[in-house]
Copies of this chain bind each other. A is one copy, B any other.
């Protein structure tokens, strides 16, 4: 650490140099990330309220009320009524909260397990590691849809929770949430839906006329949902959301925090100090864009998704891993060759893609920062690489 501080201009100069190797979203090369630049207006609002701490809501009752309003509003967007919840540091914390609740609600089970698709996000593996829950992973069918028969067969008397995904990490597919719901109906099993990505896509796709299977609180057995502002909500990093149907579950499983300056309260979070600014920022984005604005963004992303898909279909040697349900495209080889070399060659050309070796696919996420011009450039490179590797 320096003894004497530097002046601001000097610091900015050093910083710009140090950060020059960072990629930027608007370069177009980031094709495999579920994050994007936050909405500009939301960012400006956020920067005004950076120091609000929802870890001590009694100090910031206005922000706390705004959070409750926003949770309710999103709960309604997800076809729920009087939904409670709060904003987290991201989908991982929200999923960890859900897994903890599943375990806590069944203290009678000695070695609890949770049944989930093999396509579930890494955060469930982390949560299982932390919570010492056994994960029972259901296979996918060759078309990457959940093998529902296998899923059902994994549920047993030690199952405390089941997970459905609305927007899988690898392909953006939606699990048969209502089938899962029907199967566990009447069983004492917690049902969580991970819509970290899909939460702020699916409601708008539906309005655009897409055929969207039920995935949210409209399925009566769904107990809670993860949905992330910092993905397709275009919110500030880091912000996730956890939405819970039943207040009694919150009462039973929340942590009591006794000593805060703002007075006692209860929460489900791993974290103590918690950004109020990200919540205010996302509230502002929701008010600013409205349903129409979000729908417009999703429409654009889907047009670009279709543009990319159409072009991939035309390239011999590679194919779509599955028909996209939302703005995520999976590329695989036509004849089953490993995608590793393909990924490596594209990486040499600066493309930053998601590589899913367990499904042998490359993931492209058509976030709002991705334009048709970027995709056109990518398609050219993709064609060259496919040719170079003799995949056709």
Contacts and interface: CB of A to CB of B under 8 A. Distances in A.
A213 interface: no
Given A100-B130, A130-B130, A355 B259 contact: yes
Interface of A: 1-6, 8, 11-12, 14-15, 18-23, 25, 30-38, 41, 43, 45-47, 49-53, 55-56, 58-63, 65-66, 73-74, 76-77, 89-93, 96, 100, 121-123, 125-126, 129-132, 169-170, 228, 230, 236-238, 255, 257-263, 269-277, 280, 283-284, 286-293, 347, 352-357, 363
A73 B2 CA distance: 9
Contacts of A237: 50-53, 273-277
A293 B4 CA distance: 7
Contacts of A93: 89, 270-271
Contacts of A15: 45, 66, 280, 283-284
A261 B346 CA distance: 11
Nearest to A66: B18
Contacts of A293: 5
A44 to B, nearest CB: 9
Stoichiometry, as copies per complex, reads 2
A38 B273 CA distance: 14
A11 B288 contact: yes
A6 B41 contact: no
A90 B272 contact: yes
A260 B347 CA distance: 12
A186 to B, nearest CB: 29
> Considering residues A22, A260, A280, A347, which has the most beta carbons from chain B within 10 angstroms of its beta carbon?
A22
A261 B355 CA distance: 7
A169 B18 contact: no
Contact of A287 (B5, B63, B363): B5
A275 B277 CA distance: 14
A8 B288 contact: yes
A131 B73 CA distance: 34
A272 B91 contact: yes
28 contacts: A4-B291, A5-B288, A11-B287, A11-B288, A18-B62, A19-B62, A22-B59, A30-B59, A30-B261, A32-B260, A33-B56, A35-B55, A35-B56, A46-B50, A59-B352, A89-B93, A90-B273, A91-B272, A92-B271, A96-B270, A122-B255, A123-B272, A129-B255, A237-B274, A237-B277, A238-B274, A258-B355, A259-B355
